[in-house]
Structures are given as structure tokens and as C-alpha cells.
Chains A and B, each alone.
Chain A
Amino acid sequence: MSQQRWQFYFLLTPFLLWIGLLIIWPHFNMLEVSLTERSWTQGDSFSFKHYLLFFQQSLYWNTYLRTAWMAILATFITLLISFPVAYYIAKVAKPRSKLALLMCCLLPFWLSELVRAYGWMILLRESGIISGLLQAIGLADAPIEMLYHDATIILGLVYSGMLFMVVPLVSSLDSMDNSYIEAGFDLGGNRWHIFWEIVFPYAMPGVVSGCIIVFMLNLGNYLIPNLMGGKDSLWFTEMVYTQFITRFNWELGSAFGILLLVLSSLLVWLALKLSGQSLSTTVGR
């Protein structure tokens, strides 16, 4: 009995160390830093200054909202593209090709995100392949710059997030009995009814869990907006980076970090409420 208890705590220790040292403590630390005002003359004091600064400077909260909106948009587009793919893999493809198709979705992830982003840059930049091709066939007179737009960021985010949408969707669609679809037809429904009343509600846990994962990845992405968005397309993570690394303003950077955490928690909570799901039915499966 006591040995079992000892084993339990022994196995629990890595988890406690991880969540304590790498999650909880840094966040409380960040919260503390964000609420501190440093002064050479008077020493450190408690202050909401950095949070107020965020609301006073329109660049900050504009970027904040823009990042949230674009992350949501990219998540939605990822869902639109992934659903047919997942449906095909789970319901249409033969068992043998299922695995191969899932592997195809996984394949890009054998490369680092950096290389994947450069791949898109080779295609899309002014001197890139697509631009050259358009000129060669006479559809364009001059080189076209396709990088450094908001649309390119969305493209990059959708590309890097698709796998995390497809996998939960496949797993929830896979468990659906084909007889539900047949019953839907048998009772007089057409494809539209069957999709919206039977298949989509059934896949809802997969949809929500995929959306949560992809949304969080999008919101916290630094590389893709930085490389593919260029100077005009600011992303909130870039501002956090700037404050910490370029400006050495850890207090403001921490405040931004906390605000980003609040944003993602709030939106995930809202998504769960709106879809009538809970964390245990979606991510917890």
C-alpha cells in the first residue's frame, strides 16, 4: 500500500515539475513583471501603467484585434478546407489508402516550419516561380509581389494548421456508422440535410477540438507572420518579441503576453459555449 503510494508520487513528480516550473511559475512571474513599474529613483512599484499604455496606443490594440480576427479567419478557412479532406479520408477512401492519405497530410511536418515557410516564399516572391510563370505565359507584364500581404499570412497559417484540423475530424467521422447516413437518405433527406443535420453535428466534437488547436497555434504563431507577412502585416506575437528583445521593455512585453493569454482563453471559452461543447467532449477525448 505504502509502496503504491510512493510509486504514485514518483510518477507524478515529472508532471508537477513541468506544470509548476514551466507553466504556472513563469506565468505568475510574467503577471508580476507586467504589474511592476521600474524606476531608478524610487525603486519598483505596483502599477497598471503597461496595461493602460496598451489601450492608449492604437497600434497595440489594433494589432491585438487584427491578430485575433485573422487567427479566427485562418481557423475558419482551415476548417472549410479540412472537412472535405477529412470526410474523404474517413468515409470515402478505402481502408488501405486511408493511412497513405493521412501520411500525406503529415508529410510537410517532416520539415521544420521555417523550411515550409521558405518553400512558400520561393513560390510567391517577386522573383519567384509563380510570378515567373505568369510572365512567361504572358498573363503579367512585370514581376508580381505576392508575399507580404495579409492573405499570405492566412495562406501560411492554413497550410501549417491543416494537419491539426484533419486528424481530430477524421477520428470523429471515423466513428460514425454509415447507417446514419443511409437512414438520413431513407427518411427522405438529401445530401444537404444529411450534412447539416447528421454528419456535421456528429463531427462537432472533432470540429471544436480541431478549431481550438488550430486557433491557438495561429494566435501564437511567430514565424509565418514574420516571414510571410513582412513589415506591413503586424502580428501580436511580433510585438511581444519586440518589447522583450529589441526594446528591453520586459514589463510591457509581459503585459502583452498576459493579454494574449486572456484573449485565447476568452475566445476558446466563447467557442465552447457557442457550440454547446465542453473541453472534456472535445480535446479530452
Chain B
Amino acid sequence: MTSNPALRCQQLSKHFGDFCAVDQLNFEVAEGSFFSILGPSGCGKTTLLRMLAGFESPSSGDIFIQQQRVNDLAPNHRPLNMVFQHLALFPTMTVGENIAYGLKRQKVAKAEQQKKIGEILERVGLPDAANKAVTQLSGGQKQRVALARCLVLQPKVLLLDEPLGALDLKLREKMKLELKQLQRDFGTTFVYITHDQSEAMVMSDKVAVMNHGRFEQVAAPVDLYLKPNTPFVARFVGNTNMLSAEVVSQHDDKVEITTLSGLRLRGHSHQQLSVGQRVQAYIRPEALHPLNGADQGSFENLIVTRLNQDIFDGANSMLLAEFEGQQLQVLLPLQQRSRISDNAGSLDGSELKLGWNAEHCLVLDDSPEPIADSSPEPSSKSSPELTTDKRSEA
């Protein structure tokens, strides 16, 4: 990666008794980047963050901040700051005093403090808030004050512990974009933990997907979405459909599979699979194209399903279809809607032909390992850039 990472962890582990919360992690975070750690609750991400901040000590392994080993540094001596889950703005102080608290510890002169407080509040868009009580602020304003309180200290790394969790949906969408913008403006290295894959995708330069104390995959959001390495990542990041199948043949990354009823499908895989092996085919809802009547399109895979439900949600409208006892979600853009629906007045129970290409059909071995807690908050909504989202899996 980079020659001089802002943060580096080596063989970092944390055990609580027999339980291994963080399992021999090795990773680097590039200077000035937005790095997210995404995982279901209980995956060890909070423990990892608390170790970075210094509130937990690692069972083994090392943490480096800009080449300096910080394992033995107390939290108040580490060159990083943290935005807490519930922000932890001191309720007995005004906004200005909250920001001044850290500056006083850095022994900044009084006049200089006031100047810095004014500047930082200006930059986070709250120029007149210095004398306000914390309780007078709205949720989004508190968020910005919490950020300002840390950023004014110019930390080498800023840790964020799901700070958007307490906000309502609309505000969270707004704050996502705002946070990303602020990170770019300040150029500070952000390490952000969340269980909301949409937050991670929208804001991050790199996302680490964490499960059972390990990183399943560390990649840019696009790669994570298009080329998930493991079944866990495929299911956890974004919305996806799964079809059970067996391998018929494999040539390089091209795989031919057969479904339960013997239907041949084409897909791709980076894994080395053996003939007859049980696999899952992962197809994103937006890769499935509903076809009308005799229309075959130019798709490599075609199936006929039974339409169960038509869920209208504007740009995120979905069709739920059943194939071999498995539920499939099909994204239905508005312009395609008319094509489908003038075919049949009531859609329920009718036949629906679906087509998709091999490049959108990822084949991975059928992992027997159950997923800790794979359904994140149902309230998370898709962002403008990325049209799909993890919804409650039917």
C-alpha cells in the first residue's frame, strides 16, 4: 500500500476469556483516506476501535500511528481522537467550551483558543454556535460540534464510532454526504465503523468488511460490490439474490452450473471449484431483467419464475418472484414498469421471465458457516449513487 500509512496494525488480537473479539488483524490505512470498518453487531469492530483509541489494550499485536508504536500510550497521549457513538458532548459546557477543552490540554493560549474555535465552527457551518448550550443544538448540529471538537486538535487519525446511528433517516442521508465532504476538506484520516453498508459505501475510500473478528475483504466500495471475495461479503454488502446450484464445469473464471431442477446457467467465479460441488449463485436485483412475452433479449441466462408480489417504492420498486422455492428480488425501474404491467392486470401469480448475463452472476462455494447477524437496520435507505441496498431479506 502506501509507504507511510497513517495507521497500521500488526497481528492485532483481543481475547475476552475464551472469546476472540479481534483475531490477528493486519491492515494499513493510507494517509488522508476515509477507511470504514463494516460489520454486523458483535463482529468485533467496536473492540477494534477501542483498542485504537486506547480504551482496551490488545491481547497481542501492535498498533502504529505514523510509524510510532502506541500500544503503551494512554488514551490522552495518543495522537488520535474519537467521535463517540452518542457523541459525548459535555452537557455542562457550551459549544465553545466543549471545543476549548481539548485546546486547553494542548496549552493553547486563550486568545488563540478563541480564534481556533471561531475558525473551526465556521468550517463545520455553525459560525454563531460558540455560546450555545449543547442541549440547544439539533442532532445534526451536535454531530458537527463533535467533529469540530476533535478536528480542532488536528489529530493524525480520527476515529468515528457509528456517529450517525442516533439520527433519523433523512438527516443521516444528509450527514453522510456532509461527513465525506468534511473529510475531504480537512484531509484528516478517518477510520469509521458502522454496521450500515450504505454509510460505508457512500463515504469510504476503502471498506474493510469484518466478521468474527477478521477482515473478510478490504477493498474500494465498487470492488466490494462487484467482486465480493467471500459469501459473507456478497450477502452483507448490498442486496443480492441467491440460487442454490451445482457445478457442471469450470474454465478459468467461467463456470457452468445447474440448478435444483436441472436448468443450466452461466456465471463466473474467482474460486477454484470442483465438478458437482454445491454452490450459490449471487445475482444483484438490478442485474435481473424482466422480459416480456417472446422477447429473449441477448441474455446468457433465462429463467421462468412465478411473480409473488409487486412492491412499489419509486425508483426502488421491486418485484418478488419465486424460482425453485427461492425468493428473488428484481429491481424494476419505472420505465420498465409499463412493459410488464400491460401484460397482465394483476401481476400476482403470473409468470415472469428473467434474464441476466454471466458477468453478473457470481458463483461461490456454499459456505456452511452461518452469518452472525446479517440483517442490518431495516431503516437504511439506498443512496443516489448506489441504487441497491440491504433490505430485510425475505
Contacts and interface: CB of A to CB of B under 8 A. Distances in A.
B91 A202 contact: yes
Given A198-B90, A201-B92, A202-B92, A186 B82 contact: yes
Interface string B121-163: 0000000000000000000000000000110010000000000
Name which of B54, B75, B104 has the most chain A CB atoms within 10 A of its CB.
B75
A183 B90 contact: yes
A188 B105 contact: yes
Given A179-B86, A182-B55, A182-B75, A187 B92 contact: no
Contacts of A177: 86, 88
B84 A187 contact: no
A198 B92 contact: yes
Interface stretch (A45-53, A128-136, A189-197, A266-274): A189-197
Interface in A168-206: 177, 179-180, 182-190, 193, 197-198, 201-202, 204
Contact of A193 (B75, B84, B105, B153): B105
B53 interface: yes
Nearest to A176: B91
Contacts of B150: 187
A267 to B, nearest CB: 24
A184 B105 CA distance: 10
Contacts of B82: 182-183, 186
Contacts, number: 64
A182 B101 CA distance: 13
Interface in B260-288: none
B85 A187 contact: no
B75 A185 contact: yes
Contacts of A190: 76
A185 B54 CA distance: 10
A179 B92 contact: no
Contacts of A183: 82, 84, 88, 90
B105 A186 contact: no
A187 B81 contact: yes
Contacts of A202: 90-92
Contact of A187 (B54, B55, B86, B105): B105
Contacts of A187: 76, 81, 101-102, 105, 149-150, 153
Interface in B351-377: none
B303 interface: no
Contacts of A180: 88, 90-91
A188 B76 CA distance: 4
A137 B85 CA distance: 59
Ranked 9 nearest A-B pairs via Cβ: A188-B105, A187-B102, A201-B92, A183-B88, A179-B88, A185-B75, A185-B76, A179-B84, A186-B82
